[in-house]
Chain A
Amino acid sequence: MTKKTFVIDNNTGIHARPASLFVQAAAKFKSKVEITAKGRTIDAKSIIMVMGMGLVKGTEVTISAEGPDEKTAVKDLVALVLSFKENDKE
């Protein structure tokens, strides 16, 4: 299993639109992908679960993946979340 822990840094967190981008990206990987935050672990390929985590700015999250493409999955998904920062409009 590969995993990485970091802090959500974009102003609006992972609400509807960022969550949909994230879940679409996660769905492309064969590996099982999960998000752990606030003591809970959820399926990163479910937009309802991802939105329901309430990942606001400043939340510490761990993205973990298990499967054939786990390394790329974690690397790409972490990069994606960090890139939301650049789109901060508000």
Chain B
Amino acid sequence: MKQRFKGQGVIAGIGVGKILRANENLDEYLKSYIPSFVEEEREKVDKALKDVQEYLFTRAEALRRDGLTEQGAILEAHAMIVADPVMRENVLSKIDATGNSLRAVLNAAEDQAAVFESMEDEYFRARAVDFRDVGKRIARAIIGAPEREIGDEPVILCGHEIEPSYIANLKKGQIAGILLGAGSTTAHAVIIAKAQAIPAIVGAEEAVAAILDGEEALMDGETGEIITGPTDEERAAYEEKARKAAAMKAHYIKLKDLPSVTEDGRKVILAANIGVPGDMETAIEYGAEGVGLFRTEFLFMGRESLPGEEEQFAAYKDVAEKAKGKLTIIRTMDIGGDKPLSYLEIPKEDNPFLGYRALRVSLKRRDLFLPQLKAALRAGLYGKVAIMFPMIISVQEFLRAKEFVEEAKKELTKEKKEFKDTPLGIMVETPAAAMTAGSLAKYADFFSIGSNDLVQYTLAVDRSNSEISHLYNHFHPAVLKLVQQTIGAAKEHGIMAGMCGEMASDPRAAVLLLAMGIDELSMSAPSIPEVKERVRSVTMDEAKELLRKALSFEDGESVKNYLEGQI
């Protein structure tokens, strides 16, 4: 049946295939199973454990030989669980209680799964599925149920969670996509999808509830869109998208090691925005030159108390080292009332984006700000680190932040901890900062324009509001003027001007920014090749001409349309 769903795209790419529901329900078997004598039930368990163990070890090795090391490792862990005497003891003790080998195996596995589900750590919680999967596998061996026939066609795996044995039964390249109902990005399925660049969508509970086994489906791992029972046109469109994406990727990989310079030799640094240290892998893969925005919020989320200096130091050091001498800009905490954290004590606000947030909180909370600054200063020894402050509207705020940095240095000296002086910059994301860029530039070591918030605050448009999101446009003349003025002020005072935000990842905008004099563009890593290609295709004279023309329009839509026609 034709339906459309939406989830959260986590691994980009197009998937076209038949849905394979990837968790099995053994209730029917359980109902019709008639146990024999206890002794016989025990023997059945021993035989099943032995068979499953052998099967899993053999499969694990075969997967490894095929180069599918992640799957191999998971199946090997499963084999070891089956081989563990603790498993056998648990099951046998349940047989004594129930007299039913099938129920004993499933109950023993469920008990174990429950232990993991109650754990606090996300990785460990995600292991519950491993035990359920192992339990079902042994149960299937007891009743002699055959392995499911899957065939050779491409499949989209779909389930609230995906049982690893399904993944392991598929041939190399057969998984066209993964649709996960749960929101976890630490599930095995997502780890495997990442390693093999299989498109994946998580948090698609609605889709998972409605989609049937064997249905034909299309999915876009970037937008999170899922279509079942597609029309011929939709299928053709997705297949075309998939072909283009594959060709694009091959093309972009070639671009990876080419310099980001215009045709006439003007250089612009293309850096990555990252959210967690693990993002560095993708950043490097796409040829990022350093980190233009390291969002540090992950350190503060999902916990009950402030992160300490050591924990933050470990994360910053990790990224600084991986950046291998390229600039790494650490942005201090940028949280406000929209993401309430109990320990921050931010009351509910009517206007969290105009409220007590980001630097405004840091400046009032020494217990939060000093450990973060100390950690960043210490990380400076391991790479080229810079610190950037968000939500600035005045020179005074920046000077206050600088005083905190001085205090952090004093404390470090007193504690005999080594550190390195790092450049201090301003994230220009309020119209106030952009308008007074000339003053701010006298004190700051660099600017990075945070275009997302700058556009939102300048146009008074919340783009997550679907009624008005069409009004959000970074080509609006007001935005272009503020950006130009900010870059101009930086140039005048001889400091670096960068941009982090979606505007930086728009190849059409990149050309205008080049003409304005931008030094660095920072974006989500997969956007780098496309921007690089555009940069390499123009000369500065052409860019300046495009800018002159773009600034002559009276509305953002016209600018957009004009630039669209110029690529």
Main secondary structure of the interface of B (DSSP, over half): helix
Contact A48 B121 (CB under 8 A): no
Q: How far is the CA of A13 from the CA of B120 in the complex (A)?
A: 12
Which residues from 39 to 90 on chain A have a C-beta closer than 8 Å to any C-beta of chain B? 46-49, 51-52, 54, 56, 88-90
Interface size class of A (residues with CB under 8 A): 20 to 34
- Nearest CB of B to A10, in Å: 10
Knowing A20-B73, A20-B76, A56-B121, the reply to whether A90 touches B276 (Cβ < 8 A) is: yes
> Is B85 part of the binding interface, using a Cβ–Cβ cutoff of 8 Å?
yes
For B74, B80, B116, B127, the residue with the greatest tally of chain A CB atoms inside 10 Å of its CB is: B80
Contact B84 A46 (CB under 8 A): yes
Query: A13: which B residues are within 8 A, CB to CB?
Result: 121, 123-124
Partner of A15, one of B76, B124, B276: B124
- B contacts with A, residue count (CB < 8 A): 28
Q: How far is the CA of A12 from the CA of B87 in the complex (A)?
A: 24
Contact B112 A52 (CB under 8 A): yes
> Is B468 part of the binding interface, using a Cβ–Cβ cutoff of 8 Å?
no
Which residues from 317 to 338 on chain B have a C-beta closer than 8 Å to any C-beta of chain A? 318
Query: B115: which A residues are within 8 A, CB to CB?
Result: 52
The residue on A at minimum CB distance from B311 is A58
Query: B276: which A residues are within 8 A, CB to CB?
Result: 90
> Is A23 part of the binding interface, using a Cβ–Cβ cutoff of 8 Å?
yes
Contact A56 B85 (CB under 8 A): no
> Is B399 part of the binding interface, using a Cβ–Cβ cutoff of 8 Å?
no
Knowing A13-B121, A13-B124, the reply to whether A46 touches B73 (Cβ < 8 A) is: no
- Nearest CB of A to B123, in Å: 5
Q: How far is the CA of A12 from the CA of B86 in the complex (A)?
A: 24
Contact B278 A51 (CB under 8 A): no
What 0/1 readout, one digit per residue, does chain B (45-81) give for beta carbons within 8 Å of chain A?
0000000000000000000000000000110110011
Contact B281 A15 (CB under 8 A): no
- Nearest CB of A to B193, in Å: 13
Q: How far is the CA of A90 from the CA of B121 in the complex (A)?
A: 14
> Is B186 part of the binding interface, using a Cβ–Cβ cutoff of 8 Å?
yes
Partner of A54, one of B80, B119, B130, B278: B119
Listed by A's residue number, 28 A-B pairs whose Cβ atoms lie within 8 Å are: A12-B123, A12-B186, A15-B124, A16-B77, A16-B188, A17-B74, A19-B77, A20-B76, A20-B77, A23-B80, A46-B85, A46-B86, A47-B77, A47-B80, A47-B81, A48-B81, A48-B87, A48-B112, A49-B84, A51-B116, A52-B115, A54-B119, A56-B120, A56-B121, A56-B123, A56-B124, A88-B277, A89-B281
